[in-house]
């Protein structure tokens, strides 16, 4: 059993939390508004879920999921994430985050930007290319013929291994998509972003295998 801390508990964070609990993990939820605003969510998720401050969630997690707007990166506290395996689920959107020159110019990926604010974290990009509805509906047990794949990216082999084990436990297989510098290949609007899993209007989604994910990653352009 793993304890997973969540910094940000919106659609994607709460969906990962739900899958984690179903797989037997503990989750500690947090958001920017305080743990009292997550009391109902934690109660709905059951006894393996609790709500806390973001610092407490980070400290409690064997793995910490960051699911916040990119514009919120400067508000993150680095110390509790030092030495932690951190999953970055975030996508850059100028209409929400404002224009960030280094991301607009593609001189940095959003994960590399996050790493500037949490430099001692072991960062792995995951879950940013699938909608929360499809993430919930496409989870399958290991060995299922229609089990879907999710790409990950990162620079730390032990962190990648930990994230792979976690993702496999909650119903997905993993495609290693290289280092953080290559994580732009699954950013908003790329071929692997959303499309392989079917239209958002189809809540059930469509399973996609390793070859489909690798083909979509390979056709990404900047």
pTM of the model: 0.96
Report residue 52: phi and psi, to 5°: -155, 180
Q: What is the tens place of the pLDDT at every residue in 127-158?
A: 999 999 999 999 999 999 999 999 999 999 99
Side by side, the strands of the sheet bearing 122-125 are 49-51, 26-29, 3-7, 63-66, 85-88, 122-125, 149-154, 173-176
Q: How far apart are CA 177 and CA 40, in angstroms?
A: 36
Whether residue 1 is predicted with pLDDT greater than 80 in this model: the reply is no
Q: How far apart are CA 15 and CA 21, in angstroms?
A: 10
CATH of the domain at 66: 3.40.50.720
Give the whole-number percent of the chain exceeding pLDDT 90.
99
State the total domains in the chain.
1
Give the whole-number percent of the chain exceeding pLDDT 70.
100
Q: Mean per-residue pLDDT for 88-115?
A: 96
Q: Quick one: pLDDT band at residue 222, thresholds 50, 70, 90? A: confident
Which structural domain, as residue segments, surrounds residue 151?
Answer: 3-218
């Amino acid at each position: 059993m793993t304890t997973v801390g969540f910094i940000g508990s919106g659609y994607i964070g709460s969906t990962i939390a739900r899958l984690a609990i179903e797989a037997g993990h503990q989750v500690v939820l947090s958001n920017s508004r305080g743990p009292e605003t997550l009391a109902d969510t934690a109660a709905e998720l059951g006894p393996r879920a609790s709500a806390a401050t973001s610092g407490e969630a980070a400290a409690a997690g064997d793995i910490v999921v960051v699911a916040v707007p990119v514009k919120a990166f400067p508000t993150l506290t680095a110390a509790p994430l030092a030495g932690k395996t951190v999953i970055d689920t975030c996508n850059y959107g100028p209409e929400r985050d404002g224009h960030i020159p280094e991301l607009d110019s593609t001189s940095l990926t959003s994960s590399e930007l996050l790493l500037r604010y949490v430099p001692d974290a072991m960062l792995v990009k995951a879950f940013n290319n699938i909608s929360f509805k499809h993430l919930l509906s496409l989870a399958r047990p290991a060995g299922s013929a229609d089990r879907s794949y999710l790409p990950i990216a990162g620079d730390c082999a032990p962190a990648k291994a930990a994230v792979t084990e976690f993702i496999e436990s909650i119903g997905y297989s993993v495609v290693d998509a290289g280092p953080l510098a290559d994580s732009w290949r699954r950013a908003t609007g790329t071929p692997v972003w959303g499309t392989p899993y079917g239209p958002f209007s189809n809540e059930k989604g469509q399973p996609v295998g390793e070859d489909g994910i690798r083909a979509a990653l390979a056709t990404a352009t900047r």
